[in-house]
Chain A
Amino acid sequence: MTPVRARGSLRRRLLLQLLLVAAILSVALYFTVRALAQQAAETTQDNILIASATAISEAARAERGQILVDVPYSALSMLGSIAEERVFYRVTADDLTVTGYDDLPAPATTVETGNPVFTTTIYRGDEVRIAALPRRLTVGDETVILTVLVAQTRLGLAAVSLQISIAAAAAGVGFFLLSGALSWFATNNAMRPLNRLAQSVERRGPQDLSPVETSAPTELVPLLQSLNTFMARLSASLARTEDFIAEAAHHVRTPLATVRTQSEIAMRSVRKPENKQILREVIRAADESSRSAGQLLDHAMVALRSDNLEKERLNMKDLAQDVIRSISPTADLKDIRITCSGSDRTSAVEGDTILLQNALRNLLDNAVKYSPEDSRIKVEISEADSSVRIDVLDEGRGLGDGDRTHLTERFGRGDNVRDVIGSGLGLTIVDEVVRAHGGSLALTDNPERRGTCASITLPSA
């Protein structure tokens, strides 16, 4: 099975995006709060400047052709009431300074609107905010434009806006932390149905092909439906394959059995030795074909089942004895005795009964096939550290001197058995079954006498 590579995480992506949104909102909050607070502070200063300028402007009057400005104490003292700022003022009449700081720059004003004009500039080394308030004043026969300028440094404002900035930054950071925590909860909450689905799919057994879940969030419904459809199709496909295998075995084996039976009947009726020989060949070929067909089906079944082992705890000795019992009629034909040795208690493994039976049968089949008449086959079951070992020893022709590695390959056969008909699938099946169970197959020479020793090692339960 191809392992699925994880590429990114939905959870992380969702969380990151939420955090990004929170960060953007926090920064926006910071700038908004700062701008608003600064504007409020500036408006406050402007309002005081205007109040001061108005007080001075109202104290101006003309007397005997002269402009008199009696600057009220409160006009300037009110500017010192909020912060310790530097204060400047100037009163002009048609651009001529009446009193005050005559170098204080005057912004252009229009008397028609009567509205104050504000500017910010550098004066005497500090940034100052200047309010200019014009009005008309009749002096003798003519009317002059009297403009009152009141200026104040913005050092306190700078300190205030620094404070505001710090507060706004703290608010932004707090907002970000809060929304970060909420994002984390929201993400976990959103991911919960997905996690639950993954867990329920993971938990189910290999044979469980039932529909996954009956209810899910809208977004997961298509996935679940596809998954369930796929499951149903897979289930149907598996059932069809098993049916096909059974059908195929039946359809191949039944005619072959008929051929064999008819040939045996015919053998009794023929007299000529050469005809008998022909029929004997036919019977043997039918036998081999039947066996090969059986093995092909076995192999197909092994391939099918080894992906989804139905493991159960089983005793290897019982299993071996079952197989020996089933094969002994064939062995009896050649007067071959099969013995089984090993402890009854131990030798338990976790495995698929059908597959392991199949493997053992194939080994014994081979042993019977290549053993001479009136010989012995020993099945020895032993237990090592954490494994169970089954040795099948025969007194046959052995493995020969050729390359032994390809014996377990599909359709691979030994060089010394060309004269015996065989499919070359037997050992392949054994090898695949054993591997599927995490074990191994070894083929060696029989240490006691001429012959082969086939050994299966399986992890013990």
Chain B
Amino acid sequence: MRVHYLTLGLIGWFLALVTTAQGFVAEEERLFEADNPTAELTILSTADLNIFAPLVEAYQARNPTIAVRYVTASSSELMKALYEEDAQFDIAISSAMDLQTKLVNDGFAQRHVSTETGSLPEWAKWRDRLYAFTQEPAVLVYSKVAFEGLPQPTNRDELIALMRENPDRFDGRVGTYDIRESGAGYLFATQDSRQSESLWRMAEVMGRLDAQLYCCSSKMIKDVTEGRLALAYNVLGSYAAAHLADNPDLGLLQFNDFTTVMLRTVLIPKTAPDPDLAGQFVDFLVSEENRDLIEDLTGLPAIDPGVLQREAAFRPIRLGPGLLVYLDQLKRRTFIRAWLNAMVQP
């Protein structure tokens, strides 16, 4: 979300006017034209246009006769478009694994099997309908200046202890997702709660330190680089890595107790006008030989089947019905209330 708020608002308002027939709120839309197009591929995605545009162009370089319409929306709007409005898109890309899982579970996705999808590890696909093409770990982003003289924490317990012992240094200067607003933040928090009880102690300590709550990773990274935050917890590592080169003060840390890994997934909606073309695009995203290309063009880490062997702490969020649990309204309400009780203290 690097676009200026006003611009974004204007675009949103404009698109909302244009696409009133669709009902859901799109953020950006661009048509990647082709000379003498034979087909048009429509993509509904949560990934920002400037991140994904190079990849679409690479796809068009290989398939020069195909025009691509790329529409971005938030994950909840994407869900609304497909779940409630039967919007016509060939491809749906989202980082909200739980919502993608629900779409597949409830029958809103088409089956697609190919040799390319066969090259994915088991944890990166579900029911031959949902395929992951990036693996993005949740990391701790910190300011090296703020941590001057302190030992670098290697796991959550050490971080909790560090924050407890140095309230003066961290008061008002710790940030994390506002899980009420951010789907990714909610996902990370729920996964944390599954892995260990340290989430609640962490929330307790952060709440006492007057934690700042954010909608998105990019803003947290920005505040750390500009010195407003000493650390930001559960930031998408893929976004942070892009800023490391420009900001020598910025530090990035993967805990060795466990590192939650979010998977960006793609599916073919059941309403897809051109499922064959969609299948071809899915193959382009997940194929083994394109993984380096995806990393180079988007900066997002591509699926690496051997990562679990090398990184003992990596915990890719498991695709499957377990993700439906946190979509349960009662569950969500209970979880958020408990989290807020710890995080927002009077």
Interface residues of A (CB under 8 A from B): 68-77, 79-80, 84-89, 98-100, 124-126
Contact = CB atoms under 8 A, between A and B. Distances in A.
B105 A87 contact: yes
Nearest to B330: A99
A85 to B, nearest CB: 8
B321 A70 contact: no
A124 B325 contact: no
Contact of B325 (A73, A86, A126): A73
A69 B194 CA distance: 17
A77 B190 CA distance: 14
14 contacts: A68-B330, A71-B328, A71-B331, A73-B325, A73-B326, A76-B325, A77-B320, A77-B321, A80-B321, A85-B321, A87-B321, A89-B324, A99-B329, A126-B107
B106 A124 contact: yes
Nearest to B322: A77
Contacts of B320: 77, 80, 84
Given A71-B325, A80-B320, 15 more contacts: A73-B322, A74-B322, A76-B321, A76-B322, A76-B325, A77-B320, A77-B321, A84-B127, A86-B107, A86-B127, A87-B324, A88-B105, A99-B328, A99-B329, A100-B328
Given A99-B328, A124-B106, A68 B321 contact: no
A371 B334 CA distance: 144
What 6 A-B pairs are tightest by C-beta distance, nearest first? Answer: A77-B322, A80-B320, A87-B321, A76-B321, A80-B321, A84-B127
B318 interface: yes
Of A69, A84, A87, A99, which is in contact with the most chain B CB atoms at under 10 Å from its CB?
A84
A125 B107 contact: yes
A124 B106 CA distance: 7
B330 A86 contact: no
Contacts of A79: 321
A68 B322 contact: no
Nearest to A79: B321
Contacts of A124: 106-107
Nearest to B127: A84
A77 B330 contact: no
Contacts of A70: 330-331, 334
Contacts of A75: 325
B318 A71 contact: no
B330 A98 contact: yes
Nearest to B334: A70
A100 B331 CA distance: 10
Contacts of B194: 73
A69 B330 contact: yes
Contacts of B126: 84
B97 to A, nearest CB: 13
B95 to A, nearest CB: 20
